[in-house]
């Protein structure tokens, strides 16, 4: 991979969508000027995705990013293998231009992204009446279409690269199908009625713990304290687990042969904290709230490349700080109180 010089600018600050929303309604004000003068504001593809969902307010959000002199932060993915890395690139570009480019490219994988979220949505109590087999079938179909689209758009690549790409897409499709089959077999074996399954509700009921107990846990060492609480319960007392095992941090859960970076582990920790009930996102069985929770998780992950993360959502910051602390991510996650006029 081409060598990229290290960032040497002002401290980077990643703004959660609720802060950008505040600026669209109230203007930048003194707070915005402080950000412009003392920090380098950044935004990500997840920011652009939320802007796209704003339907009618896109220009308002993009203007705020431009007024903040925000830079574009993007995770680096190696080509043609689509291998995730632990590096991100900051670029100074017009947000309107970046957004147009994002929208032009986003549609190719939108069906796959939606399909991949459906298992977690099902686990969160959504998709009542649909079986796990139904969802897995959707995922296989969407993945196959994505791989086909990638090959269809490879005409301008050299024959050698096209050949490598063909091998990668075939291997990835096979691995994807195999992983889904294993997951489906394991899940059906342990679920009595998968069409009406609420995974989070069942999990907390079986473990015997939830927000009432976990929200009393204060920093530092939140993850360790959660494990100390769980290991005394019948569900976990006889299991050979530790903190890393509970939060599935030992290996990449999707591609075990690939490295498992901190920004990926943040996603796993955040999901597990939600599942256990540590300041959980509410009403995630409803699609709108589920999508918001998924976006929060993505923001937490990409913000780990920055010096500071700011959000008006206190529950979000509590989960993020718990993950950052355990993984020794130096990013400072701050809860910002916003005062609307």
pLDDT digits (tens, 9 = 90+) for 78-121: 876 678 899 999 999 999 999 999 998 876 666 667 777 887 88
Residues 6+ apart with CB under 8 A from 200: 123, 124, 125, 274, 275, 284
Alpha-carbon distance values, 208 to 181, 211, 295 (Å): 30, 11, 28
Per-residue burial over 52-84, b if 16 or more Cβ lie within 10 Å, else e, is eeeeeebeebbebbeebebbbbbbeeeebeeeb
Let me know if residue 172 belongs to a domain. yes
Let me know if residue 142 belongs to a domain. yes
pLDDT digits (tens, 9 = 90+) for 17-53: 999 999 999 999 999 999 999 999 999 999 999 999 9
Let me know if residue 28 belongs to a domain. no
The DSSP bridge pattern shows strands 12-15 and 40-43 to be: parallel
Let me know if residue 262 belongs to a domain. no
Mean pLDDT (the chain, rounded): 90
pLDDT digits (tens, 9 = 90+) for 137-168: 888 888 888 788 778 877 778 888 888 888 87
Alpha-carbon distance values, 53 to 50, 96, 154 (Å): 5, 15, 29
Cβ 40 vs Cβ 9: under 8 Å: yes
pLDDT of residue 80: 65
User: pLDDT confidence of 219, banded at 50, 70, 90?
Assistant: very high
Let me know if residue 334 belongs to a domain. no
Provide mean pLDDT across the span 271-285. Answer: 93
Q: What percent of the chain has pLDDT over 70?
A: 95
pTM: 0.86
Let me know if residue 155 belongs to a domain. yes
- DSSP tag of 196: G
Q: Give the distance between the most distant pair of CA atoms in the chain.
A: 60
**Better-predicted residue by pLDDT, 131 or 81:** 131
Provide mean pLDDT across the span 131-136. Answer: 84
Poorest-pLDDT segment among 153-157, 292-296, 317-321: 153-157
Q: CA-CA distance, 208 to 219, in Å (whole number)? A: 22
Let me know if residue 184 belongs to a domain. yes
Number of domains forming the structure of the chain:
1
pLDDT of residue 111: 64
pLDDT of residue 81: 66
Total length of the chain: 341
pLDDT of residue 199: 85
Let me know if residue 119 belongs to a domain. yes
For residue 159, give its domain range. 108-123+127-197
User: pLDDT confidence of 1, banded at 50, 70, 90?
Assistant: very low
User: pLDDT confidence of 229, banded at 50, 70, 90?
Assistant: very high
């Amino acid at each position: 991979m081409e060598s990229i010089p290290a960032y040497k600018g002002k401290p980077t600050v990643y703004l959660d969508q609720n802060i950008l929303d505040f600026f669209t309604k109230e203007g930048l004000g003194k707070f915005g000027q402080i950000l412009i003068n003392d920090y380098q504001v950044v935004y990500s593809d997840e920011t652009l995705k939320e802007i796209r969902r704003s339907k009618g307010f896109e220009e308002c959000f993009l203007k705020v990013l431009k007024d903040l002199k925000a830079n574009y932060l993007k995770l680096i993915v190696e080509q043609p293998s689509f291998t995730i890395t632990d590096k991100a690139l900051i670029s100074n570009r017009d947000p309107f231009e970046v957004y147009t480019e994002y929208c032009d490219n986003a549609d190719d994988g939108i069906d796959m992204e939606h399909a991949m979220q459906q298992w977690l949505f099902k686990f969160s109590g959504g998709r009542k009446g649909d079986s796990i087999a139904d969802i897995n079938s959707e995922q296989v179909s969407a993945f196959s279409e994505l791989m086909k689209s990638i090959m269809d758009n490879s005409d301008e690549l050299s024959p050698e690269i096209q050949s490598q790409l063909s091998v990668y897409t075939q291997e990835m499709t096979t691995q994807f199908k195999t992983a889904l089959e294993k997951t489906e077999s394991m899940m059906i074996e342990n679920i009595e009625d998968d069409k009406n399954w609420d995974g989070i509700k069942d999990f907390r009921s079986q473990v015997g713990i939830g927000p009432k107990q976990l929200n009393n846990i204060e920093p530092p060492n939140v993850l360790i304290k959660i494990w100390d609480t769980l290991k005394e319960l019948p569900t976990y007392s006889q299991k050979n687990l530790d903190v890393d095992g509970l939060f599935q941090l030992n290996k990449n859960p999707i591609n075990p042969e690939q490295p498992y970076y901190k920004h990926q582990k943040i996603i796993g920790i955040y999901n597990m904290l939600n599942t256990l009930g540590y300041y959980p996102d509410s009403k995630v069985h409803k699609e709108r709230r589920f999508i918001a929770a998924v976006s929060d998780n993505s923001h937490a992950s990409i913000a780990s490349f920055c010096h500071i993360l700011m959000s008006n959502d206190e529950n979000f910051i509590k989960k993020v700080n718990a993950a950052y602390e355990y993984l020794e991510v130096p990013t400072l996650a701050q809860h910002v109180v916003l005062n609307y006029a």
